[in-house]
Amino acid sequence: MYAGFTPSLMTTGIGSLPHKDPDEAAAFVLKADVSIPYWPQLPKRGFAEGMIAQFSEPMPCVRMNGAEGGLYWEPEHKYEELERFYSLFLAEDQEPFALSEERAAGFSAFRRAAGGRRWPYVKGQVTGPITYTTSIQNKEGVPLLADPDLRDAAVKVLARNARWQVEQLREFAQEAVIIFVDEPLLAVYGSSALASISEERVRTMLGQMCEAIEDAGGISGMHVCGNSDWGVMASTGVQVLNFDAYQFGHTMGLYPDAINVLLRRGGCIAWGIVPTTADIAGAELDSLARTLQESFAALTDKGFDGALLRRRAMLTPSCGAGSMEEAEAEKVFDLLRELRARLER
Q: Assess if residue 279 is contained within a domain.
A: yes
| Rounded Cα gap, residues 145 and 157, in angstroms | 14
Residue ranges making up the domain that contains 156:
10-343
Q: Residue 71 maps to which CATH number?
A: 3.20.20.210
pLDDT digits (tens, 9 = 90+) for 108-146: 999 999 988 999 999 999 999 999 999 999 999 999 999
Inter-CA distances, 338 with 34, 284, 286, 295, Å = 11, 10, 10, 18
Q: How confident is the model at residue 190 (pLDDT cuts 50, 70, 90)?
A: low
Indicate the average pLDDT of the chain: 93
Q: Assess if residue 159 is contained within a domain.
A: yes
Q: Assess if residue 1 is contained within a domain.
A: no
Q: Assess if residue 16 is contained within a domain.
A: yes
Inter-CA distances, 181 with 74, 91, 211, 253, 270, Å = 26, 24, 12, 23, 13
Q: Which helix (H) or strand (E) covers residue 293, if one does?
A: helix 285-300
At 231 the pLDDT is 85
Q: Assess if residue 328 is contained within a domain.
A: yes
Q: Assess if residue 80 is contained within a domain.
A: yes
Q: Assess if residue 86 is contained within a domain.
A: yes
At 1 the pLDDT is 59
Q: Assess if residue 122 is contained within a domain.
A: yes
- Contact (CB, 8 A) for 328 and 278: no
Task: Judge whether residue 68 has pLDDT over 80.
Answer: no
Domains: count for the chain: 1
Task: Judge whether residue 100 has pLDDT over 60.
Answer: yes
